Structure 1
Amino acid sequence: VQLKTRSKMFCGCATQAGAEPNTQICPVCLGYPGTLPALNRETVRLGAMAGMLLDCEIARVSKFDRKSYFYPDVAKNYQITQYPFPICLGGHLDVTEGGRTRRIGITRIHLEEDVAKSTHHANFSGVDFNRCGVPLMELVTEPELATPAEALAFLQALRQLLVYADVGECNLELGNMRCDANISLRPAGQKRLGTKIEIKNLNTFKGVQAALEYEIGRQAAVLDGGGRISQQTRRWDSDAGVTEPMRSKEDAHDYRYFPDPDLLPVVLAAEQIEAWRAALPERPAARRQRMMAEYGIPEYDAGVLAAERPVADFFEAVARGCGNGKAASNWTMTEVLRLLAEGGRTLDTCALTAAALAELITLVGNGTVNQPTAKALLAEIFEQGGGAAERIAARGLAQVGDRAAIADWVRQTLEAHPGPVADFRAGKQAAAGFLVGQVMKRSHGKADPRLVGQEVARQLAGSGD
C-alpha cells in the first residue's frame, strides 16, 4: 500500500501520479554514489497508524535493511526495506464473507521503498523511476484465509480501513495498492501447509479472486494426477485468465538482507505512540454500530453511510442539523448519493453542504415545502450552492396546505378528466394515482400531496360537492 505522503521515503522528490516519466527523480532515489537517504517522518507515523487500526504491536525500535537483487527497476541494486525488525508485529482484521465473520491474523507490517516501473515493448523495455523511492507499507497475513472470496473480502475491508484513516488512497488503477497472493493446497485434515505458490501482477480485487480460483484448480489437477507442486512465483495473465511461471521462488537468504548502514534505527517514545493512537479515527465497524444506536437507522443504512468516511461525516452533520436521523439517512442515501453517482462527483466537488441539506429536510418536515419540490431544489443546490429557504421565498414555492384551495383544484381536475373518474368508479384503483398527479400539476407542485390524496379519495367517493 502506498502511503499518503507528498514526498518520497528517503528524498524530497514528489510522489504525484501521472507525471512524465523520469521527471520526479534525484540522485538519492537513483542511488548515485555519495548520496545519503533521509527518512521521511510521515511514513513512520502512517505505518504506525495502520498498525494501530489493525491492533498490531507498535515496535519501540525498528530498523531498515538492504534487500539485494539485480534488476533494471532498482538503480542501487538493493531496495531499502525492513526485515527482522519491522514497525508493526501481530494484529488482526475481522472479515465478513458469506454471512460469517472470521478474524484473520496479521504477521507483520513493514515499511519499504517502491521500485521503478518497467514497461515492456516489442523490441525494447523502458524504466520509469518516478515510482522509485515512493513510500510503501507491506502487510503480511497469517496463512488463515480459506477461500478466494474471503481473500477478496479481506482486501476490501483493509482498503476501507486505510482510506478511512487517510493512511493511503488505495487506488488500484493508479497502482498505489497492490497484492501478491501466496496459495497452497493440502488434504482435508492435514495440519501441515502445502507447497506455496506466489502470484504476482494482481492489480484488481476481482483479479485476486480470479487468479486464486484458477490456481486452486491448477494445483488440484497436478496433485490429483500424482504430481508435486514446486515452490515458484507465477504471474496472472488477466486476458488469458491463467497464471504463468515467472521464476523459482526465492527465500530470504537469496536477497542477502543486511542492516542499512546509512539509516539509524527508528526509536519511538511511548508518548509519541499514544499521541498517534489518540488521533485514530473511529473504525468503520464501530461507527456503524454507533450510528444505528444514535440515529435510529437500520443496519443496512448504517452500512452504506459508514462505508466511506466523507459520506459518514456528511450524514452525521446533516442528522445533527435537522434532528431527524432517519430523514437524513433517506435523503443522503437516495438523493445525494444518486446525484454524486450521476455526475461522477464527490462531496468535495459539489456545492451542496450538510447545513443546506439539513435546512431542506427541516422545511419538508414542518410542511413548508413538499417532497417533489424539495427534490427539485436539492438538484439546484447540489450544482449552485446556497440554501432552500431563500429559493422558496423568492419563487413562491411554499407548500399549500389550505384545504379549500386543494378541494377546488381537485374539483377542477375531476371535471377535466371524466374518463379516469369513470375508470376509478368501475374498479380501476390506479386511476386515482393519475388524478393525484394531475392535481399536483394543476397546483404547480405546491399542494400538500397527503392532503391531495385525501381530497381526491373523498370526492371520488361522491362527497365532493
Structure 2
Amino acid sequence: MNYEAVIGIEIHCELKTETKMFSGAPLGYGQRPNTAINEIDISMPGTLPQVNKQAVAHGVKLAQALNCDIDTLVRFDRKNYFYSDLPKGYQITQQFYPLGRDGLFNILVNDDIKTVRINRLHMEEDTAKQFHEGENTLIDFNRAGTPLLEIVTEADFRTGEEAAAYVDALRLLVVYLGISDGRMDEGSLRCDVNISIRPVGQEAFGTKVEIKNLNSISNVQKSIEYEIKRQTEVVESGEAVITETRRFDEKHQSTVSMRVKESVVDYRYFVEPNIAPIRLGAGIMDQQEIELPVARIMRYNESLGLSMYDASVLVKNKELTDYFELLIQDTSEYKLVVNWLTQDILSVLDKKEGRPFEVWIQPKYFIELIDAIKTDTISSKQAKEVFAKMVEGESPKAVIEKSGMVQINDEPTILAWIEEALEANPQVIDDYRNGSNKSLKFVVGQVMKLSKGQVNPRIANELVVRTLDKKI
C-alpha cells in the first residue's frame, strides 16, 4: 500500500524589540545569566504586565504579510501550567482571540508556487531557559518574557522538502520585515512539526506525532523524511503509531521518543485579568508595505531575466539583494552583477566586518569593475586582481590605471605576437594540421606570455585559429 504524509508546522519567532513583551527589561540574548531581568520577569508580588507596543506592531506587520484576517481588538489569555522555567506558573498568550487567522502564504518549491494556509498567528511571551548539569538544573531568566509570535499552519505539507521550503521562506520573511533576525541556531526561530501518514486517497488523518525544537532547515527536512519512513514501517508491520513527542537526534539522523501523550493537557485557559483589551489604531494598522521575498524573486526572473536559481540565491541574503538594487540603478548587466555578488562577494564576507555593503564597497566602485569587464578593458584574470583591491576600499579605475592593467585588444599587435610564436615553434603548424588541439592552446599560451598576460584571450584564440587555418 502507498502512504502519504500529512504535515503541519508550528513556528515560534522571537521578535526584535528593545524590551520584553510585558516588561521594560532589555532582551538578554548572549548576556550574563540573570542580568537582563526585572521584577515582572521573575513574577515578584504586586507586579503587573504592560504590553509592548513595538511587539504588537511587529505582529500586525507579519499578519498582514501572511494575508491574515486581523483582530483589531487585542486580548490576552493565561495558559496555566507549572514548570521550573515559568516563574509565574502561567504564560500570557492569545488562545481565544489570536491576532491573525486564515492567512495565505506563497512559497517556492522547486521554482513552483505553493500556497500554504495559515491557521493562526498569535502573540505570547517566552519562558526562561534551563541548563541541566548532572542532577542539577540551572535557570537563566534572561529569556523569560521575550516577545514571541507563534505561526501555525494547516496540514498542507506532504514532503520534507515542502516543509523545509516553508520554514526557510518564513525565516526569510521575518528578516525582510525587520521584525526578527530569524537565527535558528540561536533559537530566534524554533520549529515544531506535526506529522502523520495515511493511505493515498484517504481523507481522514492518521495518528499524529510531534517533533519538537528543530533548529535548522536541513533538520526539518531530515527529521520528516526519517519519521515518514519510521511510521510507514510501523504500520506495515501491523502495529499502531502512537501519539507522542519526539526529537531529532542529529548524531544518528533519527527521531527519538521524548514522551508519550496519553491525554490532552488541560491548561485551564482563561482571560488575562491584568491586561485590558487594546483597540489597534491607524498608526499600527497602516504600516508601510515592503516587497516580499517571493515577489522579488519573481520580479528578478520576469523583469531582469535572471534564472529562478540566481534570483533565489540573491534574495536569500537581504543585505545582498538590497545592495543589488542599488547597483542596477547604474547598469543593465544584471547577470554579470549577480555572478560577482553571489560567488565572489559571498566568499569574502569576513572582510565586511559588520559594515553596510554600500559603505564596505561603494556602489560606484562596483560599477567601475563591471564596466571594465564588459568593455574588455581588463581580462577575467585581471578582474580578480582588481576585485581583491576593491574589497580593500580602492577604486577599480585607479587600480587599473596605476597597474597598467589594460587588456590588449589590438588585432595587429596580437597577430604580430602570433607570428613570433609560430616562428619560434614551427612544428606547431604540422601538429595543428594533424588535428592536435594542444597546438592551438600552446600558441595562445605563448601569446599570453609575450603580452605579459594582457592580451584579450578571446580575441587571441580567434586570431590563432584564423592564422593556423591559413597556414594549412
Q: Please give the alpha-carbon distance, in whole angstroms, between the structure 2 residues aligned to 1:38 and 1:176.
A: 22
What whole-Å deviation, never above 9, does each CA across 1:168-225 have from its counterpart, x for those lacking one?
A: 2211110111111222334444333233232223222333333333433444455455
Equivalent of residue 291 in structure 2, options 282, 285, 297: 282
| 2:59 paired with 1:37 | no
Asked if 2 retains the 8 angstrom alpha-carbon contact of 1:211 and 1:243, the reply is: no
Q: Which residue of 1 aligns with 2:14?
A: 2
Asked if 1 retains the 8 angstrom alpha-carbon contact of 2:160 and 2:221, the reply is: yes
Residue pairs, 1:425-440, within 5 angstroms = 425-440=433-448
> The residue matched to 2:465 in structure 1 has which SS?
helix
Deviation of the 1:148 alpha carbon:
2.7
| 2:389 paired with 1:380 | yes
Asked if 2 retains the 8 angstrom alpha-carbon contact of 1:295 and 1:319, the reply is: no
Q: Which residue of 2 aligns with 1:293?
A: 302
Q: 1:316 to 1:116 in 2, by over 3 A?
A: same
| 2:259 paired with 1:246 | yes
What whole-Å deviation, never above 9, does each CA across 1:252-286 have from its counterpart, x for those lacking one?
A: 6x111122222222321256412x1xx23212222
Deviation of the 1:91 alpha carbon:
0.6
Q: CA RMSD in A?
A: 2.8
Equivalent of residue 197 in structure 2, options 176, 182, 185: 185
Report the identity percentage.
36
Q: Which residue of 1 aligns with 2:176?
A: 164
Q: Which residue of 2 aligns with 1:309?
A: 318
**Structure 1: stretches of 5+ with no match in the other structure:** none
The count of aligned residue pairs is 458
Equivalent of residue 149 in structure 2, options 125, 132, 137: 137
Asked if 2 retains the 8 angstrom alpha-carbon contact of 1:60 and 1:270, the reply is: no
Deviation of the 1:77 alpha carbon:
1.0
> The residue matched to 1:320 in structure 2 has which SS?
coil
> The residue matched to 1:207 in structure 2 has which SS?
helix
Return the letter of the residue paired with 2:142. N
Q: Which residue of 2 aligns with 1:406?
A: 414
Q: 1:9 to 1:437 in 2, by over 3 A?
A: farther
Equivalent of residue 368 in structure 1, options 369, 377, 401: 377
Residue pairs, 1:16-415, within 5 angstroms = 16-97=28-109, 101-224=113-236, 227-240=239-252, 241-248=254-261, 251=264, 254-270=266-282, 272-274=284-286, 276=287, 279-340=288-349, 348=356, 351-382=360-391, 384-415=392-423
Return the letter of the residue paired with 1:284. P
Q: Runs of 4+ in structure 1 displaced over 6 angstroms?
A: 342-347
Asked if 2 retains the 8 angstrom alpha-carbon contact of 1:233 and 1:247, the reply is: yes
Deviation of the 1:325 alpha carbon:
2.3
What whole-Å deviation, never above 9, does each CA across 1:48-103 have from its counterpart, x for those lacking one?
A: 11111111112111211121111111111111111111111111223444676432
Q: 1:285 to 1:346 in 2, by over 3 A?
A: farther
Q: Please give the alpha-carbon distance, in whole angstroms, between the structure 2 residues aligned to 1:250 and 1:30.
A: 30
Equivalent of residue 464 in structure 2, options 444, 450, 456: 456
Asked if 1 retains the 8 angstrom alpha-carbon contact of 2:243 and 2:260, the reply is: no
TM-score for both structures, normalised by structure 2: 0.87
